[in-house]
Amino acid sequence: MKTHQFEVVVVGAGGAGLMAGLYASKTARTAVISKLYPTRSHTGAAQGGVGAALGNYEEDHPEWHTYDTVKGSDYLGDQDAIEFMCNEAIPAVYELEHMGLPFDRTPEGRISQRPFGGHTNNATGKPVRRACHAADRTGHMILQTLYQQCLKNKVNFFDEFQVLDLLVNNGAAVGVVAVELATGELHIFHAKAIIFATGGHGRIWEITSNAYAYTGDGPAIALRRGLPLEDMEFFQFHPTGIYKLGILITEGVRGEGGVLINGKGERFMPKYAPTVKDLASRDVISRAIYLEIREGRGVNGSNYIYLDTRPEVVNKYAAIDGRTNLDGSPVKVTAEQLLHKLPDIIDFNRVYLGIDPMTQPMPIQPTAHYTMGGIPTNMYGEALKDETGAVMPGLYAAGEVACVSVHGANRLGTNSLLDIIVFGKHAGLRAAEYAKGADFQPLPSDGLDFTNQQLDGLRNGSGKENVLTIGNEMKKVMFDDVGVFRTEEGMTAALAKVRELKERFKQVRVTDTGKIFNTDLLNTWEMGNLLELAEVVAVSALNRQESRGGHAREDFSKRDDANWLKHTFIWMENGKPVIKYKPVTITKFQPKERVY
Amino acid sequence: MQVTMKIFRFNPEKDTKFHYETYTLEAEPTDRVLDVLERIKGYEDGTLAFRRSCAHGVCGSDAMRINGRNYLACKSLVKDFGANITVEPILGLRVIKDLIVDMNPFFENYKKILPYFITESPIPEDGRERLQSQEDRERFDDTTKCILCAACTTSCPSFWASDDYFGPAAIVNAHRFIFDTRDEAASERLEILAETSGVARCHTTYNCTVACPREIQITKAIGEVKMAMVTGKV
Ligand SMILES: Cc1cc2nc3c(=O)[nH]c(=O)nc-3n(C[C@H](O)[C@H](O)[C@H](O)COP(=O)(O)OP(=O)(O)OC[C@H]3O[C@@H](n4cnc5c(N)ncnc54)[C@H](O)[C@@H]3O)c2cc1C
Ligand code: FES
């Protein structure tokens, strides 16, 4: 075992972790630990854009961005944090540009912006161009740029080190345990402040846009160490994943004029969202797609519909909608322009489906996409240890792993890339500031015990069960019954199934007994995390008897502000879930009905 | 369809020499090679080791040799290779275990070309973005696509001959900054690339361009860098 000492340790090297590392290392001795090589992080998969009311094409204001985000969150987002994020968005995006990020440009040479779901001109209700983009690889550009800046500023990296445990002593976070993948050796990182930036857990569901690495390591570790998770019932299903594969087709496609078409050839979104139509919030569109399919209007009676971005179709509906360019001329696109704006999307279709979206519509279905819940934090990235908002000393979280909560019950597109740069930065600053004023607390004497106990369990099972089979069963039941639409009956059955799978999981045995790159052992450990979190998601969802944002119950189909305008905090105590509630912070916008 | 996968295996804790292992299983023609590897790992042999994350060709984890050529396993469909598929690690980097190679020399080369934005000029007084015309932005668009998967560099005979050659990926990333009008360190990078381990080692074999899963016109980019070196103009 090796022990290292750093003032700040950042776990995760995606956008949030890199931003935290960059800022913390300005003043404190900092290490960034990542199970993936940093540039492999899932931030690199983000396509459409990062939201900021720059107003480079048309009038826009941070206040509008704030309101849209509150409304998008179905009023569950904390309004002080949302306002902070939307105000910070503008300097944050400029900062990325100053770091060299190659945004696309307007004819005047400014950062180019495109419309995205739920982002509106608050005066007219019409879509506004707020998503700052670099083709359809904005996340890739953010990840590359931040990693490059970290290299320039000589940030310390521990690449391909996977954190397995959080060390707590006298009620404070004091370090983490990590395994070095190349050697299998365990390391202890002793720290004054630890920032979790480990991303989401979308691998719980069968059809998902999320990477293999999205196994919720951070929240699972926190949960095992007695910390609560917030709003775990809220998970976003993105309306447009490639049929069966789940690979994401960015909302930017609809931002560029693409429309959703059912099996009867009808554009159906005007029925569900008369004003913004195909650019309604994601939860609204995913439900609309399900309803179309349920009523037999899937394509060929099947469970998918079309996203159509053929230029003639885009132009037809642009004319019907009266969409105009900024100079007032009607919108007319060519295949060449679309190809230029959406090269990766077109490539995905060609590679995985053998389809050319310029001549054929794309078969799509909703796909598990984004973790709204997570480790509770305040707007400075400080992790909360309970529903009163009390802070867990030494622990921070930022990015998709955290629940600030700025996304509430449903995240708006472009607000996650924004979240990671704004809260990544502030978590980094806060953690460094805290570390400067604090002493190292002693490490607990049994630092590796809990890790070894977990790993031994995976090595010594009877071998009667297969981990991939268990995983597939979990994914299926969670997608079917704790997915876009939910009922008491379905969720109760799903929860029972997940609990059964957790029991069966005790019978798996890892076959690789080696140390070097034992991915068998680590993938199995990750599956344990997913099972743990699937249970927490199902319990939280079953508990919330209303529909709000991404949590849509058929048996409680209305939002219920009188009883449920509050955040769920869930703990696991001796294997039993305990739920408490935290009030939502409301500043300027009183809840009202949400129509698009 | 039935697929026979012949996979390069090497376990440093047991083997002194690599060998091949063959697995026969059912697959859909539209399955990714990565899907098949996952199933082999899940049901036949848990010790099989490879890297992967995004599963759709954007993170750069799973470059490997499939039937003798570099691809991303997640961007390669079974039907494009047929019933017999041979999978091996990329060449020119030390094999650590099975399909996992030591990427350090690759990243060290990348770091040598100053792969970050450098400028001395102050930001605009209003604090807003630096301006850049659409044409100037277009100039280096192609080379911003690189995901550092190493498919290009490890398909290059000059890199196989000696890994002190920076390799195409490093030059692609240099190009991304050299031709960015906002960056001010083009001449430093060109000087670095003029070293013996630099662009002179490129013999335009085009392997890199063929191998690039992002379809970056690598040989063209290297040509532009060479030209900039000769003319001193970017
Ligand atoms: C296909 C796709 C498209 C998207 N498009 C957009 C978009 O257009 N706009 C938008 O705003 N958002 C978008 N999102 C969402 C957004 O990209 C993510 O929410 C965001 O990038 C997450 O960043 P992060 O830094 O929190 O996590 P990540 O970038 O995923 O980083 C997580 C890091 O944690 C590390 N890690 C995890 N577990 C461990 C462990 N146990 N030990 C050590 N390290 C660990 C990983 O190695 C990785 O470095 C998209 C998401 C997807 C999947
Ligand atoms: S797994 Fe990401 S590129 Fe293949």
By three-state DSSP, how is residue A526 classified? helix
Q: What band does B233 get if pLDDT is binned at 50, 70 and 90? A: confident
Residues of B in contact with A40 (CB under 8 A): 51, 53-54, 59-61
* Nearest-atom index, ligand 1, CA of A163: 42
Mean pLDDT of chain A: 97
CB count in 10 Å sphere of residue B180: 22
Ligand nearest to the CA of B148: 2
- Measured in degrees and rounded to the nearest 5, phi and psi for residue A479 equal -70, -40
Which of A316, A337, A366 finishes a domain?
Answer: A366
Please indicate whether residue A311, judged by its CB atom, sits closer than 6 Å to ligand 1: no
Ligand 1 contacts CB of residue A49 (under 6 A): yes
Query: Measured between CA atoms, how close is B212 to chain A, in angstroms?
Result: 13
pLDDT value of position A38? 98
Cα separation, A54 vs A129, in Å, equals 9
| CB contact (8 A) between residue B128 and residue A110 | yes
Q: Which of residues 37-56 of A touch B (CB under 8 A)?
A: 37, 39-42, 44-45
Average pLDDT for B84-97: 98
CB atoms within 10 A of CB A271: 12
Please tell me the distance from the alpha carbon of residue A161 to that of residue A106, in angstroms, as a whole number. 41
Q: Is A558 exposed, middle or buried, given 0-12, 13-18 or 19+ CB atoms closer than 10 A?
A: exposed
Q: Report residue B219's pLDDT band, with 50, 70 and 90 as the boundaries.
A: very high
Ligand 1: residue whose CA is nearest its atom 27? A199
Say whether both A454 and A361 belong to one domain: no
For ligand 1, the distance from its centroid to the CA atom of residue A272, given in whole angstroms, is: 31
Task: Tell me the domains of chain B and their CATH numbers.
Answer: 2-101 (3.10.20.30), 104-231 (1.10.1060.10)
| Chain B residues whose beta carbon lies within 8 Å of the beta carbon of residue A515 | 13
**Residue B105, helix vs strand vs coil:** helix
SS3 A165: strand
Percent with pLDDT over 90 in chain B: 94
Q: Same structural domain for residues A455 and A552? A: yes
Contact residues, chain B, for A368 at CB < 8 Å: none
Residue A510: burial class (beta carbons within 10 Å; 0-12, 13-18, 19+): buried
Instruction: Please tell me the predicted confidence (pLDDT) of residue B21.
Output: 98
Q: Is residue A70 part of a domain?
A: no
- 8 Å CB contact of A182 and B75: no
Mean pLDDT of B76-86: 97
Report pLDDT digits (tens) over A532-567: 999 999 999 999 999 999 999 999 999 999 999 999
The alpha helices in B9-148, defined as continuous H runs, are 33-39, 104-112, 134-138
Quote the pLDDT of residue B196: 82
Question: How many angstroms does the Cα of residue B95 sit away from the middle of ligand 2?
Answer: 19
Confirm whether A505 is domain-assigned.
Answer: yes
Cβ of A269: how many Cβ atoms within 10 Å? 25
In the numeric block, the tokens 């290059």 are attached to B156
Whether residues B182 and A149 touch (CB distance < 8 A) is answered with no
Q: Of A366, A387, A415, which residue sits at a domain end? A: A366
For residue B77, report the distance from its CA to the centre of ligand 2, in Å: 13
Q: How many structural domains compose chain A?
A: 2
Task: Specify the ligand 2 atom closest to the Cα of B62.
Answer: 4
Indicate the Cα dihedral angle A131, A134, A139, A142, nearest 10°: -100
C-alpha A439 to ligand 2 mean position (Å)? 42
In which domain, by residue range, is A469 found?
449-564
Angle at Cα A17 formed by Cα A197 and Cα A569, nearest 5°? 20
Does A168 fall in a domain?
no
Atom of ligand 1 lying closest to residue A161 CA: 43
A293 assigned to some structural domain:
yes
| Interchain pair B47, A512: CB under 8 A | yes
- The letter for the amino acid at A534 is A
Return the CATH number at A323: 3.90.700.10
- Shortest distance, CA A564 to any CA of chain B (angstroms): 36
CA distance A14 to A402: 13
Cβ of B55 closer than 6 Å to ligand 2, yes or no, is: yes
Which pLDDT score, from 0 to 100, does residue A327 have?
87
* A590 occurs within a structural domain: no
From the CA of A34, the nearest ligand is 1
Contacts of B51 in chain A (CB under 8 A): 40
Quote the pLDDT of residue A325: 87
* B130 with A512: Cβ contact below 8 A: no
- Residue with the bigger pLDDT between A324 and B131: it is B131
Scored b (16 or more CB within 10 A) or e, B150-166 reads: bbbbbbbebbeeebebb
For residue A238, the SS3 value is strand
Q: What are phi and psi of A50, to 5 degrees?
A: -120, 130
Closest CA to B159 of B214, B66, B222: B222
Structural domain ending residue among the three candidates A366, A391, A414: A366
Q: Where are the alpha helices (DSSP H) in B70-217?
A: 104-112, 134-138, 157-161, 168-178, 186-193, 207-211
Please work out, in degrees rounded to the nearest 5, the angle formed at the alpha carbon of residue A480 by the alpha carbons of A478 and A482: 50
Mutation test residue for ligand 1: of A19, A32, A41, the one with most atoms within 8 Å of CB: A41
A154 to chain B, any CB pair closer than 8 A? The answer is: no
The DSSP 8-state label assigned to residue A440 in this structure reads P
Do A453 and A560 lie in a common domain?
A: yes
Classify residue A303: in a domain, yes or no. yes
Contacts from B159-166 at CB under 8 Å and sequence distance 24+? B159/B92, B160/B91, B160/B92, B162/B197, B163/B92, B163/B93, B163/B105, B163/B109, B164/B197, B165/B109, B165/B197, B165/B201, B166/B109, B166/B112, B166/B113, B166/B193, B166/B197, B166/B198, B166/B201
The SS3 call for residue A210 is coil
User: Residue A88: its pLDDT value, please?
Assistant: 98
Structure tokens at A121: 């001109």
Tens digits of residue pLDDT in B163-183: 789 999 999 999 999 999 999
Distance (Å, rounded) from C-alpha A106 to C-alpha A299? 38
Assess whether A556 and A453 both reside in one domain. Answer: yes
Cβ of A248 less than 6 Å from ligand 1: yes
pLDDT at B184: 97
Q: What pLDDT does A112 receive?
A: 97
Q: A360 and A453: one domain?
A: no
A45 Cα to the center of ligand 1, angstroms: 8
Low pLDDT (below 70) residues in chain A = none
- Same domain for A453 and A352, yes or no, is no
For tokens 């597109």, name the residue: A413
Give the neighbor-by-neighbor strand order of the sheet with A113-120.
A50-51, A127-132, A113-120
Whether residue A502 lies inside any domain: the answer is: yes
Q: Which pLDDT belongs to residue B164? A: 87
Contact present, A210 and A42 (Cβ < 8 Å)? yes
ipTM surpasses 0.90: yes
CB A409 within 8 A of CB A76: yes
- Name residues whose C-beta falls within 8 Å of residue B98's C-beta, 6 or more positions apart in sequence: B7, B8, B9, B10, B11, B48, B49, B50, B89
Q: Is residue A331 part of a domain?
A: yes
What residue type is assigned to position A16 of the chain? A
Is A208 an 8 Å CB contact of chain B? Answer: no
